[in-house]
């Protein structure tokens, strides 16, 4: 029996990046400080003492990078806006030089036939707002809406695809519970209040975008990772369900009208103290699309020593699993599982994989990076995406993370996720073998689209990709 065919129509191929990880120029042209500028200066927080200040020089080299995107035949580029470059104090008077940069960036994309996709918040809250409580202050909803309106006023005429938040569970969890990301806050109540306020922003931001009309598509993104129990024991299953509630359900379920996942994690009931009358409705929104951002999966076992979750992740290396250079298990089937699952949430009509990729120890030799492991990672995960699509999941695009190597948060510049290698001494760019492979795949897929034909989801069936 012939395997189901991928309908190639309207499927988009892109590449993603973010302002705090690439722009650098943190003190140029009126930009205000962000919480990551401050956090990265604290000893021991970031590998090598690296800071976003260096970046990849995107602020100065954006035309070079866009020329690479065009040369590779990638027609969709996801990037984020630095809130503190646009509003140095977080609110109040815009910084015209900051707005001018994004105005030029969008025009440069369009001039090259590249569709810009913008994330409005990719973790880099203005430091001035953190000093007023940041995500723990419910005023953040209005601060965000005013900021978004400032950006939309300038760019909404040319940019149609918008994402409100980048991975809210990451910046609330790592930044407000574990304290390992900016702003370095810890504790359950700090976490829960940031979760609720981010959930309010998520929905309000989608509604704000949808109120503009004129072809604007309102989306937001979710970090996802399937969570499985180490053993089929009641305790391990309970532990896996608790971790799954945080990692996969915590933000999409209030948005889709299911409320917070207290069934799997009763301690979440404590979020009630931050809920005001009418919030349940305020949390609901029906996005035009969602972004799924997935890299790996987690195997967990019960652990009474871990507060609240009573769960502990099991090292993939101890499971003899194949991993990336930063120890993340390589498990493409998990992306297929996530896509099938998220497609079942009510109100989800269109999904894009807005981030997927891997860090490997890339070696530059004679101007070339032979990153075969990354090509194999991309191939297997793209096949998982196309397999889900053949089975009716409305997944309509794939964005590789990331365009260039960049500031990988606590890993600093040591973890290289890019399709393009950055020599951080010279800031020269070197296109990796995986980028050429991705470029050829896009070319062949678009050739099918032009003939309105379809193909098996096994990527190599599209042509002689090796
Ligand atoms: C995230 C962020 C990206 C990361 C990437 C690799 O998903 O954590 O969106 O900024 O750099 O995912 O960890």
Tens digit of pLDDT at every position of the chain (466 positions): 566 688 888 999 999 999 999 999 999 999 999 999 999 999 999 999 999 998 899 999 999 999 999 999 999 999 999 999 999 999 999 999 999 999 999 999 999 999 999 999 999 999 999 999 999 999 999 999 999 999 999 999 999 999 999 999 999 999 999 999 999 999 999 999 999 999 999 999 999 999 999 899 999 999 999 999 999 999 999 999 999 999 999 999 999 999 999 999 999 999 999 999 999 999 999 999 999 999 999 999 999 999 999 999 999 999 999 999 999 999 999 999 999 999 999 999 999 999 999 999 999 999 999 999 999 999 999 999 999 999 999 999 999 999 999 999 999 999 999 999 999 999 999 999 999 999 999 999 998 888 877 777 788 766 544 4
To test ligand 1's pocket by mutation, which of 293, 330, 404, 422 has the most ligand atoms within 8 angstroms of CB?
293
What atom in ligand 1 is closest to the CA of residue 295?
A: 12
pLDDT of residue 466: 40
The pair of structure tokens assigned to 387 is 């397999």
Number of C-alpha atoms within 13 angstroms, CB side, residue 106?
A: 21
What atom in ligand 1 is closest to the CA of residue 417?
A: 6
* CB of 34 closer than 8 Å to CB of 90: no
Report CA(113)–ligand 1 centroid distance (Å). 26
Report CA(78)–ligand 1 centroid distance (Å). 13
pLDDT of residue 183: 98
**E strand spans, 314-437:** 351-355, 395-401, 420-423, 428-431
What atom in ligand 1 is closest to the CA of residue 359?
A: 6
Report CA(238)–ligand 1 centroid distance (Å). 27
The pair of structure tokens assigned to 335 is 């992306």
* CB of 197 closer than 8 Å to CB of 145: no
pLDDT of residue 2: 60
Distance of CA 305 to the CA centre of its chain: 31
pLDDT of residue 449: 83
Give how far Cα 384 sits from Cα of 232, 328, 390, 442, Å. Answer: 26, 18, 10, 16
Question: Residue 192, by phi and psi: left (phi above 0), alpha (psi -120 to 50) or beta?
Answer: alpha
Which residue owns the Cα nearest ligand 1 atom 12?
A: 355
Which residue owns the Cα nearest ligand 1 atom 13?
A: 408
What atom in ligand 1 is closest to the CA of residue 408?
A: 11
Distance CA 238, CA 288 (A): 33
Write out residues with Cβ below 6 Å of ligand 1: 18, 21, 166-167, 170, 223, 293, 355, 401, 408, 417
pLDDT of residue 54: 81
Report CA(364)–ligand 1 centroid distance (Å). 23
Catalytic residue numbers read 167, 355
To test ligand 1's pocket by mutation, which of 80, 117, 167 has the most ligand atoms within 8 angstroms of CB?
167
Helix ranges (H only) for 94-229 are 96-111, 127-130, 140-155, 168-176, 188-210
Report CA(166)–ligand 1 centroid distance (Å). 9
Report CA(359)–ligand 1 centroid distance (Å). 11
To test ligand 1's pocket by mutation, which of 247, 408, 415 has the most ligand atoms within 8 angstroms of CB?
408
Which residue owns the Cα nearest ligand 1 atom 4?
A: 408
Which residue owns the Cα nearest ligand 1 atom 6?
A: 408
Distance CA 428, CA 146 (A): 37
* CB of 150 closer than 8 Å to CB of 207: no
């Amino acid at each position: 029996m012939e395997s189901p065919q991928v309908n190639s129509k309207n499927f988009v191929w892109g590449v993603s990046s973010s302002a705090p990880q690439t722009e650098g120029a943190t003190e140029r042209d009126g930009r205000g400080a962000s919480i990551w500028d401050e956090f990265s200066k604290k000893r021991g927080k970031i590998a090598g003492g690296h800071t976003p200040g260096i970046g990849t020089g995107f602020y100065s080299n954006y035309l070079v990078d866009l020329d690479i995107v065009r040369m590779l035949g990638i027609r969709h580029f996801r990037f984020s806006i630095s809130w503190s470059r646009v509003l140095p104090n977080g609110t109040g008077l815009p910084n015209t030089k900051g707005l001018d940069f994004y105005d030029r960036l969008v025009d440069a994309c369009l001039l090259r036939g590249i569709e810009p996709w913008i994330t409005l918040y990719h973790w880099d809250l203005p430091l001035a707002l953190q000093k007023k409580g940041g995500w723990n202050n419910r005023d953040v909803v209005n601060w965000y809406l005013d900021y978004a309106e400032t950006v939309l006023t300038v760019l909404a005429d040319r940019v149609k695809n918008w994402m409100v938040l980048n991975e809210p569970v990451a910046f609330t969890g790592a930044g407000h519970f574990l304290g390992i990301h900016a702003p370095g806050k810890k504790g359950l109540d700090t976490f829960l209040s940031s979760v609720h306020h981010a959930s309010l922003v998520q929905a309000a931001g989608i509604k704000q975008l949808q109120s503009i009309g004129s072809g604007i598509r309102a989306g937001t993104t979710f970090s996802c990772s399937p969570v499985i129990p180490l053993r089929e024991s009641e305790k391990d299953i309970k532990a896996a369900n608790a971790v799954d509630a945080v990692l996969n359900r915590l933000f999409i379920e209030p948005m889709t009208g299911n409320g917070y996942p207290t069934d799997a994690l009763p301690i979440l009931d404590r979020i009630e103290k931050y809920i005001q009358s009418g919030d349940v409705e305020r949390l609901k929104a029906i996005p035009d699309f969602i972004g799924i951002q997935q890299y790996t999966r987690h195997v967990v076992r019960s652990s009474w020593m871990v507060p609240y979750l009573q769960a502990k992740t099991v090292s993939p290396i101890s499971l003899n699993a194949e991993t990336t250079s930063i120890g993340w298990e390589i498990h493409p089937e998990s992306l297929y599982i996530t896509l099938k699952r998220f497609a079942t949430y009510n109100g989800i009509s269109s999904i894009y994989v807005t981030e997927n990729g891997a860090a490997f120890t890339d070696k530059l030799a004679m101007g070339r990076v032979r990153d075969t492991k990354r090509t194999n990672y991309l191939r297997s995960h793209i096949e998982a995406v196309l397999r889900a699509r053949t089975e009716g999941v409305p997944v309509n695009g794939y964005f590789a993370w990331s365009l260039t190597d960049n500031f990988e948060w606590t890993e600093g510049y040591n973890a290289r996720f890019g399709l393009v290698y950055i020599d951080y001494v010279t800031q020269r760019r070197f296109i990796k073998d995986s980028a050429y492979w991705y470029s050829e795949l896009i070319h062949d897929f678009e050739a099918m689209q032009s003939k309105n034909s379809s193909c098996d989801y096994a990527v190599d069936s599209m042509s002689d990709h090796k």
